[in-house]
Amino acid sequence: MGITMEKVPIKRDGLERLQNELKQLKTVERPAIIRAIAEAREHGDLSENAEYHAARERQSFIEGRVAELEDVISRAEVIDSSKIGGDTVTFGTTIKVADEDTDEESIYTIVGPYEADISQGLISTSSPIARALIGKRVGDSAEVTTPRGTKGYEVLSISVS
């Protein structure tokens, strides 16, 4: 049993955001935390030094995030959504759906798991709503199981972003 090397679907701008975050962590955050640890060490007894322990905790977070970003970037497969047909819901498409109970309309873009941000309408391919909608066409309905129960959505439009 080895490490999974599964490709991570991502749009070009999503990959650039991850690369920028990695660069920030390596060139700004990492050196700053190393300086903070060195300064905290100068304060003497490390067992009761809150600044030292906080800095070490922050360093651990940064190193973990660097490792995660390096892994994702190494497995990233950039998907050019302009080359994807716009008649079915797929990765990279933007869809307008209507809640079949309330007629409330929502717009979502289906992206990779490291780009998802529901506040911007970016939903992961692995989210329940995306999984239910992928493969659907305009006019199709999809049943989505959510923590609050099952909801029905009708696909109103599909566009390639």
Q: What pTM was estimated for this model as a whole? A: 0.76
Share of the chain above pLDDT 90, in %: 62
Q: Which two tokens stand for residue 52?
A: 């030292």
Q: What is the CATH number of the domain that holds 73?
A: 1.10.287.180
Pair (74, 92) in one structural domain: no
User: Structural domain tally of the chain?
Assistant: 2
3 lies in a domain? Answer: no
Domain that holds residue 125: 81-160
* pLDDT tens figures, 113-133: 999 999 999 999 999 999 999
Same domain flag for 131 and 103: yes
User: Is 3 a residue whose pLDDT tops 70?
Assistant: no
Same domain, 92 and 155: yes
Final residue of a structural domain among 48, 78, 108: 78
Are residues 16 and 70 part of one domain?
yes
Higher confidence at residue 158 or residue 5? 158
**76 φ, ψ (degrees, to nearest 5):** -65, 135
The reported pLDDT for the residue numbered 85 is 66
Give the pLDDT score at 48: 76
Q: Could you read off the pLDDT of 33-63 as tens digits, one per residue? A: 999 999 888 877 777 788 888 999 999 999 9
* 72-98: pLDDT as tens digits: 999 998 887 777 766 899 988 999 999
- At 43 the pLDDT is 78
